[in-house]
Structure 1
């Protein structure tokens, strides 16, 4: 009885060839991943740097605008204060002129040309009529 043996040696080398092919595919995939990640990292770093630069520029603009707004606020406060003083002076001047006019038109002792109704503002020359506080 003779036994024939199959040559199984080639089976072992086929398995090794498959492993080598799998390993080389993994190495290629790993290389592609490294390249992709490297490119992503570089792009992300550039984007972060650009955003940081843009943010600094915006911060400088905001600081400049705040200073400008504060200057305008100070100018408006000064103008408002001046306006209040002008109104106060004008009001006082109008009161003085009104008082002087009433004193000229309505002396304390009404001369015969004027008649008085008990109020300074209603002192009118003879033959004149009073209408809404005026002659």
Structure 2
């Protein structure tokens, strides 16, 4: 979580849920994909997410941006859901030539649709399963 509780006009500022604190904050969600050998952690890629819901956003993106620019594409990516953003991060890392024996993820991401996508790409997955209905 990147908290911006005192901000009012930061671009794509949103009301996001902080799972560790158990409450909503003003700010962004940061997802980071990294590689580890068990001793070191190397961040490979990250994405800063706003809210996908228009009602949760306090400030919209600038309207004068060129739709072909990299900045515009990053802003559009910030509207995606966390599992979709995760798959995008993983696809970019694999396309860049990074390899891994398995994907280790938090219990929040260990869900059947995401597991199907990752195993469809030939990746083994390690993740804790949360207790659900």
What interval of TM-score do these two structures reach, taking the shorter chain for normalisation? under 0.3
The structure whose residues are more often helix, as a share, is: 1
Name the structure, 1 or 2, with higher relative contact order (CA <8 Å, separation 6+).
2
TM-score by length of 2: 0.16
TM-score by length of 1: 0.16
Larger Rg: 1
